């Protein structure tokens, strides 16, 4: 069995992060986000990786291109797309109970937002498929919600089901062994 080292990266800052709103817009990095990505590039300079796998969204792809020091292939995977807030897009985060929005066991449905269990199933499917690839190390560039799904995959679902504070910050990196 091949051991795979994963470097999970959240993209740099975008304007909807600053405005604290839900968004399903395909928004690119802002100036701060670009700066964060270049700072992350420096932090990652001594790691080796076989591939970068990225969300298809502009903010993730832009981050992936900036941190790709070794000019490795960047593979786009739709399963790494952020959780879709549906008709919450453009609304302030406060329109929902954020603890419940990110609670795996919640029965509250917020508008047309993507179901958390279905969202996490995509993450599980992605990671299960990654296990059979022949990579030794990979950088995954995605989103806060995806990082919550990674947490659940590797650590299990917390007893209270709460994931709100278990995601990565902009341009934060977390290592996992698969």
Chain segment 91-132, per-residue pLDDT in tens: 999 999 999 999 999 999 999 999 999 999 999 999 999 999
- The arrangement of strands across the sheet holding 137-142 comes to 74-76, 51-54, 137-142, 5-10, 173-177
Chain segment 133-161, per-residue pLDDT in tens: 989 999 999 999 999 999 999 999 999 99
DSSP 18-75: HHTB---S-PPP-HHHHHHHHHHHHHTTT---SEEEE-SSHHHHHHHHHH-TT---EE
* Residue extents of the structural domains in the chain: 5-177
Q: Band of the pLDDT at 3, cuts 50, 70, 90?
A: confident
Rounded Cα distance between 116 and 98, Å, is 12
The answer for residues whose C-beta is within 8 angstroms of residue 155's C-beta and 6 or more apart is none
The answer for residues whose C-beta is within 8 angstroms of residue 50's C-beta and 6 or more apart is 72, 135, 136, 137, 138
CATH class of residue range 5-177: alpha beta
Percent helix / strand / coil, the chain, rounded to 5: 40, 15, 45
Chain segment 49-93, per-residue pLDDT in tens: 999 999 999 999 999 999 999 999 999 999 999 999 999 999 999
Instruction: Report the chain's mean pLDDT, rounded to a whole number.
Output: 96
Tokens (6 digits) for 87: 């008709």
Rounded Cα distance between 119 and 117, Å, is 5
Tell me phi and psi for residue 88, to 5 degrees.
Answer: -80, -15
Tokens (6 digits) for 28: 């690119």
Chain segment 21-59, per-residue pLDDT in tens: 999 999 999 999 999 999 999 999 999 999 999 999 999
């Amino acid at each position: 069995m091949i051991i795979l080292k994963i470097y999970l990266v959240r993209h740099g800052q975008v304007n909807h992060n600053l405005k604290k709103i839900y968004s399903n817009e395909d928004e690119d990095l802002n100036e701060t986000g670009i700066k964060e990505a270049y700072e992350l590039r420096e932090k990652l300079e001594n790691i080796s990786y076989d591939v970068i796998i990225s969300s298809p969204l502009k903010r993730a792809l832009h981050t992936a291109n900036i941190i790709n020091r070794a000019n490795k292939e960047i593979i786009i995977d739709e399963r790494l797309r952020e959780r879709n807030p549906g008709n919450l897009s453009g609304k302030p985060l406060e329109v929902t109970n954020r603890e419940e929005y990110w609670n795996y066991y919640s029965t509250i449905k917020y508008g047309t937002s993507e179901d958390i269990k279905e969202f996490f199933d995509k993450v599980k499917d992605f990671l299960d498929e990654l296990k059979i690839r022949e990579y030794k190390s990979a950088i995954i560039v995605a989103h806060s919600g995806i990082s919550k799904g990674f947490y659940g995959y590797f650590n299990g679902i917390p007893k209270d089901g709460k994931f709100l504070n278990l995601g990565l910050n902009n341009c934060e990196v977390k290592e996992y062994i698969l």
